[in-house]
Amino acid sequence: MTTTLRIQHRTDVHYDGPVSQSFDEVRMTPLYSESQLIRHTSISVIPQPWQYSYVDYWGTQVTSFEIHEPHERLTVTADTTLDIVKLPHVDSGMTLPRVDAGHDRWYEYVLTSPVTEPGPELRQLTGELVDESMTINRVGHLVSEMIHDQVRYVPGSTRVDTTAQQAWRARSGVCQDIAHLVIGCLRSLGIPTRYVSGYVLPRSEAEPGEPVEAQTHAWVQWWDGEWTGFDPTNLVDSGESHARVGTGREYADVVPFKGVFTGAGSTSTYEASVVMRRLS
């Protein structure tokens, strides 16, 4: 089954005074892959910058740009139309004792970090939840269900630098935190797991062409012989409503927008909006 989506992601940056120069990069272009066929993609920036694109270490398309003229506002708009193909996934039957075979290849996705470290309590709960006879796919679903049941999704309840342990103690967070928690738990079992940044259509039943307000989203992929995507916030497999922009160890590897500036302005505020349409 193939679904065609159009995604328009706009970010407005407001400075509290004129800035003379700004240097920025965005990760807003969905990946081209076997399951994602890009029909059209563009990124426009106002004021008009000098810009170039490259693929980073993790395989994500990055658009980098510089503005060397006074400005108090910056607007970036990414517009992409793509086909998402739902590929069949057959459980490989890989179990925990066999997952070590992928450690050399995916070593960076096995290590925890200060952001994804689950902490002693959650490590213990994860260990008690599974046994070595379970397939990796089964373990991934069980851990996702545990986090989904224990951590409430509360928009705006955390910051971009909130750690998995902080979100666990609060028992609340956003999709980024829920993904970090699942990643930390699965890595504690030795399962290579990575963070996925992208977009999800919130209303799959929307009429073709109907604009739907959305937002950037995060989910996970674990390795069970191939990368298997799962959305622990919504407790569903990643599918025709999920458009991947990039993958990495954690949020910091796939930040949608970041930059620096010089000038009279000392602070900046950000406003972002995402509109998605299902075209077919």
Q: Tell me, what's the pLDDT at 266? A: 75
Structure tokens belonging to residue 89? 């996934």
Q: Tell me, what's the pLDDT at 87? A: 81
Burial of 272 (0-12, 13-18, 19+ CB in 10 A): middle
Confirm if 276 and 5 have CB atoms less than 8 A apart: yes
Fold of 2-86+255-278: Immunoglobulin-like (2.60.40)
13 Cβ contact list (under 8 Å, min separation 6):
73, 74, 75, 76, 257, 259, 268, 269, 270
62 Cβ contact list (under 8 Å, min separation 6):
25, 26, 27, 53, 54, 55, 56
Q: What is the rounded distance in angstroms from the CA atom of residue 143 to the CA atom of residue 168?
A: 14
Fold of 96-254: C8orf32 fold (3.10.620)
Q: Tell me, what's the pLDDT at 205? A: 85
Specify the pTM: 0.95
Domain ranges of the chain: 2-86+255-278, 96-254
Q: Phi-psi category of 174—alpha, beta or left, where left has phi over 0 and alpha has psi -120 to 50? A: beta
Mean pLDDT (10-residue bins), the chain, 280 residues: 95 94 97 95 96 97 96 97 87 74 81 96 96 93 98 94 97 98 97 97 91 97 94 95 97 96 85 96
